[in-house]
Structure 1
Amino acid sequence: MTNRSSNGIPSVLFVCTGNAGRSQMAQALFRERMGDRVRILSAGVDPWDHLHPMAMKLMFERGVSLAGHHPKSVSALADQNVDLVVTIGDPARALLPKIRFSCSHWMHWDIKDPADADGTPDSESVFRFTADAIEKGLPALEALVLAMLPLSRFAGCLGIGTGLWSAERFTPSTHLPLIKECGFQAIELNLYKGRSHFDWEDPSAVADLRRVADDLGMVVWSIHSPDLTSIADPDVSKRQTQVDILKHCLDLAAELGAKAVPSHALLVGPLKEDPTGSDARLTDVLTELTEYGEQSPAQIAFENAGFPAGEMASATKILERLGRHSRAAYGFVLDTGHANIDGDLKDIQDHIGDHLISLHLNDNDGKGDSHLAPGEGNVDWATVARILKDGEFQGVVMYEIEPGESSAEERMQATLHGYKEHLESV
C-alpha cells in the first residue's frame, strides 16, 4: 500500500547516483513548486558525503535553499512505500531494482551526472544545463502527481460500475446525480458495454463526464477496458491491437483522473490452448506495456476469471505473474463473484500480497456470473473483509452490479444494505 500520511498526501522520491546534485535540486525545485501538497524526498544509490557546491550555488540563484540537506542512501528508505519514484540517470534506474523497494508509480529522467564534468572548463555550464533539464521535467511530473491528489480523499468511499445501466446510454448529467443521491461517491466507467453505452472516443463526452463529476465532488475511480481477446494472442496484429486498446484506456484514465484500468486481457484466448507460447508472449507484451504504464497515473488491473480459463489464467497464476513485473504499471482487481464461481477466494487471500488496487464486488450462487448485490448470493464476505483489512486496502469500495427486474435505484439500495451488513466495519 502507499505510504501516505493520515491526510492522504502523496509522496515522491527522487533518486540519482550520489544524491549530491541532481536529486537534491529536483527535490528542492519540486517542493518550491508543490508546497505542502506533496511529501518530497531524495536519495542516492551510492551517496556522497556532502552536497555538490555547484548544486547549492544554482539553487541559491533561484532563491531555493538547500540548507539542512545532506546526501542519503536509498537503502535507508527501503522499508517505506512511496507513491512515485523518479530515477535520474541510468545508473539509478539500473541499481534501484536491486534494492527492496515498493512504490505505485515510476518515472525516469535520462539526465546524466553533471559531476562527470568536474575539473573541466565546462563544469558550471554542464551543471546549469542539468538544472534547466530538471526544471523542464517538472510540469509533466506535476500533472502526474495532481492526478493522484484528488483520489486520496475517496479512499474507503463507495463506488458503483456504470454497467448497472448497461441497457441504456450512460449520461453523466442524468446518472451521476442519481448515483450520488443514493450514497455513492465514485464510479467505474464500463467500456466493456460498448460505445453505445458511453462513447469514450468522443472528446466532448469525456470532457462532460469529468466536468459533471468534478462539479458533484465525485470521482471516476476506474475505467473497465473494452472486451479484449488476449494480449497473448499468437497473431501479432491482434496482439498489438489489444496493447493499443490498453494504452488508450490508460490515456483516458489520465484524462479522467482515474486510478485503475481493470481488464480481462489475461483470461481468454490461447492461454489454455498454448500455455508455453502464451507465457513467452505475455512476458514480451507486459514488458512493452511497462514503460507506458509507469508514466501513467493509472495502473492496469488484471481481473480473476469466473470461468474455466485454464491454469495460466487462474487468480494465483495472475498474482504470481504480477510479482515478476512492474508494481508501478500493474495490479490486481478482485472480482468476488468470479472468485465464488472458481472457489478460489481463500487462495487469493493467501497470495494477493500488495497487488490489490481495485475491486469488483458482487454476489452470486457460485454457478452463474449474475452480479447480484452483496448478500443475495453465497459469497464468503467474511473472507473478503479479511482480504481488505489484512491488505490495508485504501481504494474505493467498488461494486459491479448488473441490472435486474427492479430499478437501478433499488439495486443501489440493496447494494448499500449489503455493504453495511458485510463490509462497513472494515
Structure 2
Amino acid sequence: MSTATDQRPAFAPARSLLRFATAGAVDDGKSTLIGRLLHDSRSLLADQLEQLELASAERGDDGLDLAMLTDGLRAEREQGITIDVAHRYFETARRAFIIADTPGHAQYTRNMVTGASTADLAIVLVDARNGLTEQSRRHAVLAALLRVRQLVLAVNKMDLVGFDEAVFGTIAAEFAAFTDRLEVRQVTAIPISALRGDNVVHRSEAMPWYDGPSLLEHLEEVDAGDDRAAGPFRLPVQCALRAPERDYRGYAGQIAGGTIAQDEEVLHLPSGTRTTVVAVDTADGELDRARAPQSVTVRLADDLDVGRGDMLCAAENAPAATEELTAEVCWMSATSALEPGRRLLLKHTTRTVKAVVAEVRDRLDVTTLHRSPVVRLELNEIGAVVLRLAQPVFCDRYADNRATGGAVLIDEATHATVGAVLITGTH
C-alpha cells in the first residue's frame, strides 16, 4: 500500500476513487479518525510509522497520537486543532481514497468550502457526549450547499458514554430530522470510537446492538459513481494544439460534463457555430467515446477560431452564455468585505473575465437556513450576490454541474482568491 500527502501517486493502480471530506466541531476527533483509518488499514509506510512514534514520544503521549498524521502545521500541533485543509491518499484492495480533513472552527468556513468542493461524500463527526452542535449543523448545510451527494454521521467517542445504544439513537434521529430539510441523497449513521478503533476499520464487539458496516466498509461499498458523464457535453477549451507539418489541429481540455464521440455534432461558444467531431484523442491514442472527467483533444470537421476560454458543448443542450449571474458566494478575504461596486476577476473553467458586484442580496445563516438582507459579506459569510461581467461566461447552475456551475473571485490587485462562487441563475 502507498500514501501521498496531496494527490494520488502516478504509480497507483486504476480503481474506483472516492473523495471524501471530514468535518466536525473542535475536539470531536477528525484528525484521530483519519489517523486511525490510515493506521488500521495498514496504509502507513514504515518511516511514517517511525516518525509518528518518535513525535508521540516527544510529546509524552501514551501510545500513538494518530491525529498528528494530518495535523501537519506547527501551529496545529501546538494547539491540538486543525486549521488548514490536509489531504491524504490511501487505498485498500477495493477502492482508492482522497481525504480532505477540514477545520471545525466557524472562522474557517472558507477552508470547509475548499475541502468539500470536490468531495463525493462528507463525514460529519459528532462527540457522543455533546450530541449535535451548531458546528455539526453548519457542516451538514455546507456539504449540502456544495452538492456533496452523501453524508455519514460518525458518532465518535462512544466509549465515553458506555457504548450506549440510546445515546447513538437519539443523535442519529436528530441528525436525520435536520438533514431532511437539505438536498442530500443519502445519510448514514455509524457509532465509532476513533481513539480505540471501534467500527472504524473493523467492526466492534463492544456494540453488539449495531449490525451495520464499519466506517471503512461503508466507504468501500458506497456508490461513488461520477454523475458528471450523465449530463450534457461540456468541454472548456484549455488550449489549441497545432502541428502544421501533419495538418493537425485539435482543442484540448478536461471534459466537464457528458460524453463525446466521433461524428457527433457540437456547438462552439461564443461563435454559436455548429460543427462535427472528427476524432477524440488522448495521450494513449484515439478513443471511441470519452466522458467526464477525462482530459482529451477534440478534432473538428470545420476550421474554426477556437481558443482558451471557449467551450465546445452539446449542440441541442448548450449552457447559458451570460454577462450577469446570480450566485451563492462564500467570501474568503480577511482584509476587505464583498459589497456593491467591488471590482474583481471571475475565473470560470478556463475563462477569466472582469466582474463587478451589482448587488448583495442576503446572508445565509448556515445553522438555521434563515436568510437576512445585508449590504455586504464579511469573511466566511455566505450569501446571494449578483455579478455583472465584462464578457460572457458559458455556465450551468451549480446544482446541475459543479464544474461549469462553480467559479472563484480573484482580487485584481493581489491576485488572491477571495471568493467561492456557486452559480444559481443567469440573466
TM-score, normalised with respect to structure 2: 0.27
TM-score, normalised with respect to structure 1: 0.27
Q: Compare the two structures and name the one with the higher strand fraction.
A: 2
Q: Compare the two structures and name the one with the higher helix fraction.
A: 1
